[in-house]
Amino acid sequence: MESIITDAEKSLDKALEFYERNDVALGYRPSLRYTDTICPIRPDALACVKAEFEIVDKYIDFFYKNLGIVVWKGLYGLDISDEAVGEITRITKNRLPEVVFSSYPELMSEADIVIFEPYKEDASSRDVTMAHEVWHLIEKKINLLQEHPFIAEGTATYAMMKFAGVNCDRPLEDFDDYLMMMYHGSANIVQNYVKNSKNPYLAMLDVDLRLKIQKELLDRVKPLLTDKIKKMLEPVEMHDAEEKMLKQTPEFANLVGNLTAENIVRAYRQMGAVKLVDELQGQNLDGLIYWFKKFGF
């Protein structure tokens, strides 16, 4: 583990020096911690900034506001109202930080950047990964990490690719899955807005410009959501991460070995999702059961 941290510190030096040369210095040296697990948000991630989990409610707001109806109707094949989606969103928001941190106690550490198991096997991506995470910290320092995940990941990915001397030329629509679209597709839109700026890094920190970027991102993403989410949920690694967190929720944990439509409805009722439960009555829940099975229930 010490050799991993030593190597990561070298990558951190490169990222800090790069941003200082480009007039967006972080201003402090972030602390690192290695854990021999995977990232709950993205199983193939080499590292993440702890702050991303501390504002997980922002991600939940975004996901359900923009994708909730798509998931319930497109994936589960159910007729669910905006009000019911809003209800389960509020419940999830209140519970998810506790679930994430209980599932991944290493995120409770004081480290600014947490390094995950895939880091050991991907030496070629270590420098750019650190450039990505440090950019998150630069935005956090000036309260910009509170925004939607598409703009946060788009700017961090663009900064990372600039660090590597690579352009982000593939348009958002070209990416097959949701996560690649969120990271690299968003970076392409960011690039289109800032590439002619005297200092693109400073341009990415302009609040008004970020709002314009975010609007275009959402306008272009929404028509693609159903197919992208399906592909995002297919990899086994994603199932493992989802299973680990879902089973930390007591009502869902009780479904293991008892997965029926009646028990799923009972679990949501116990969670307090009254509106959702009312709307599930009389509907075919085979699609919902299918995805619970995909996640190990």
pTM, two decimal places = 0.75
Asked if the model's pLDDT at residue 197 lies above 80, the reply is yes
Burial class (CB in 10 A: 0-12, 13-18, 19+), 105: exposed
Q: 144 and 54, same structural domain?
A: yes
Contact 77, 139 (CB under 8 A): no
Kindly indicate the confidence band of residue 60, based on its pLDDT and cuts at 50, 70 and 90.
low
What share of the chain in percent tops pLDDT 90? 50
Mean pLDDT in residue range 234-244: 56
Q: What is the pLDDT of residue 243?
A: 63
Q: Which of 198, 232, 266 is the last residue of a domain?
A: 232
Query: Do 71 and 85 belong together in one domain?
Result: yes
pLDDT band at residue 11 under the 50/70/90 scheme: very high
Cα–Cα distance for residue pair 178/225, rounded to 1 Å: 7
Query: Which of 191, 206, 232 is a domain's end point?
Result: 232
Domain end among 212, 232, 252: 232
Domain count of the chain?
A: 2
Report pLDDT for 17. Answer: 98
Give the number of other CB atoms < 10 A from CB of residue 237: 13
Same domain, 213 and 267: no
The answer on 158 and 116 residing in a single domain is: yes
Q: Check whether 65 has a pLDDT greater than 80.
A: no
* More confidently predicted of 49 and 199: 199
Whether residue 133 sits in one domain with residue 219: yes
Q: Identify any residues that bridge with 34 across adjacent strands, giving them in sequence order.
A: 115
**How many other CB atoms are found less than 10 A from the CB of residue 286?**
10
Per-residue pLDDT tens digits for 217-237: 888 887 777 666 666 656 555
Same structural domain for residues 99 and 177?
A: yes
Cβ contact 18:163 at 8 Å: yes
Stretch among 112-126, 141-155, 193-207 having the lowest mean pLDDT: 141-155
**Does 48 have pLDDT greater than 60?**
yes
Q: Are residues 274 and 191 part of one domain?
A: no
For residues 84, 87, 92 and 95, what is the CA-based torsion angle, rounded to 10 degrees? -150
Residues 272 and 125 in one domain: no
- Domain ranges, residue 30: 2-232
